[in-house]
Amino acid sequence: MVATAFSPLLSAAAELPPGGSFVDDDTSVHQGAIEAIAAADITRGCNPPTNTKFCPEAAVPRGQMAAFLARALDLPEAGPAGFTDTATSVFAEDIDRIAAAHITYGCNPPDNDAFCPQQDVTRGQMAAFLARALELPVTAGDSFIDDDGSPFEGSIEALRAAGITVGCNPPDNDRFCQDRHVTRAEMATFLARALGLDTPVITPRPYQIEVIDRTSWGAEPVRGPLTNHEIEHITIHHSDSSLSVTGPAQFRSWQAWHFHLGWPDIAYHFIIGRDGNVYEGRPYTAVGDTATEYDPTGHLLIVVEGNFDEVEPTTEQVEALAQMVAWGSVQFDVDVGTVMGHRDLAATSCPGDNLYALIQDGSIAARADDIISEGGVTLDIGS
């Protein structure tokens, strides 16, 4: 019944844009399954209202699990299940539906008068949810070495027998990792296998940036606490550095100086070298630093190597900057037309007259817009 209900929806996957529906799963092995459950309307994304992201590595709370299962099985509406902690949950109706279908009994036995909608689901608990939802018979066996004696072992074996799971430690796959939280990406694969959904082949985005990671350019570990933030702006800097030392040696000297200033890491999130390559800086989830008067909270800081009051940025640097702006714009829902230079925020000539001119006249924004319209950018921070 479930497979038939979804078959008309699978054709939507054939019309996917390059890179697929979401901007944050391009390098995930679960991308095809994510697209399959999106086509089946089991997921809509994780950042409403735009829903451009899937958040593949985020854990699945019990409330979300209820929504996944209620949509996947097309469960009918149901009356209140009587849980004491779901009235204010956005997933309250989904929880009632899976309770009526006997997929859940609650989270606090023996009373089971609570559902714990915010509690993250473990892989073992997921196996029980899914085995009940699919009415899989509890199965004897010992496929995995880490679930012996677990109350979920029979459900885990049922999923293995049905081909829904193969394990958590390829290529051996002799473990299930039952106590680890199940991620949204893993849940997509479990559901796609369980429902027999076709997983589409996704055309890669035409622009792919292989970011040179911190280890490769010789960055020191972070020294001190970082402050998390949500990015709302993209701000461009230049390094105002000489030509005598360039590339990783230059970047290491910047980091050393920033440590000297008492900062926990290099100030910038990404570096564009004179060679046009992109290098990983401070984690972009953390607030950067500045020696000027503006607050960098909420700013994605991109520094381009060179003193652009004296020289022109190279063609390779300009293209790499436009690609990074395109990536940041889509990733963080920032209008490319709002990209700023450091001088827009503080009393400084940074990012230099020659680079700032390309920001001010809209050249960077226009190129970034073109890149986005052609399919966007995949950012791969490898080692």
Q: What is the C-alpha separation between 23 and 153, in angstroms, rounded?
A: 36
The verdict on 29 and 171 lying in the same domain is yes
> Residues 88-112: pLDDT tens digits?
999 999 999 999 999 999 999 999 9
The verdict on 179 and 245 lying in the same domain is no
Q: Would residue 233 count as lying in a domain?
A: yes
- Last residue of a domain, which of 164, 195, 226? 195
The verdict on 135 and 277 lying in the same domain is no
Q: How many domains in the chain?
A: 2
Q: Residue with structure tokens 């994605």?
A: 300
Q: What is the C-alpha separation between 165 and 185, in angstroms, rounded?
A: 13
Return the exposure string of 316-347: e unless at least 16 CB atoms fall within 10 Å of the residue's CB, then b.
ebbbbbbbbbbbbbbbbebebeebbbbbbbee
Q: Give the residue among 24, 44, 20, 21 at the shortest CA–CA distance from 285.
A: 24
From residue 235, give the alpha-carbon distance in Å to each of 268, 288, 334.
10, 11, 11
The verdict on 107 and 234 lying in the same domain is no
The verdict on 259 and 369 lying in the same domain is yes
For 296, which DSSP code? -
Q: Would residue 89 count as lying in a domain?
A: yes
pLDDT of 181 strictly over 70: yes
- Last residue of a domain, which of 195, 224, 248? 195
The verdict on 343 and 223 lying in the same domain is yes
- Last residue of a domain, which of 162, 195, 228? 195
The verdict on 99 and 144 lying in the same domain is yes
The verdict on 10 and 159 lying in the same domain is yes
> Residues 36-85: pLDDT tens digits?
999 999 998 998 988 989 999 999 999 999 999 999 999 999 999 999 99
Range(s) of the domain holding residue 159: 2-195
328's enclosing H/E stretch is helix 315-332
Q: What is the C-alpha separation between 168 and 151, in angstroms, rounded?
A: 19
Confidence of residue 5 (pLDDT cuts 50, 70, 90): very low
Q: Would residue 229 count as lying in a domain?
A: yes
Q: Would residue 294 count as lying in a domain?
A: yes
The verdict on 128 and 273 lying in the same domain is no
- 3 state DSSP class of 207: strand
> Residues 233-245: pLDDT tens digits?
999 999 976 666 7
CB atoms within 10 A of CB 304: 26
Mean pLDDT, to the nearest integer, of 366-375? 94
The verdict on 244 and 156 lying in the same domain is no
Strands 270-272 and 278-280: antiparallel
Residue 373 is part of a domain; what is its CATH number?
3.40.80.10
The verdict on 160 and 215 lying in the same domain is no
Q: Would residue 202 count as lying in a domain?
A: no
What confidence score (pLDDT) does residue 382 get?
A: 67
pLDDT of 253 strictly over 80: yes
> pTM of the predicted model, to two decimals?
0.77
The verdict on 215 and 175 lying in the same domain is no
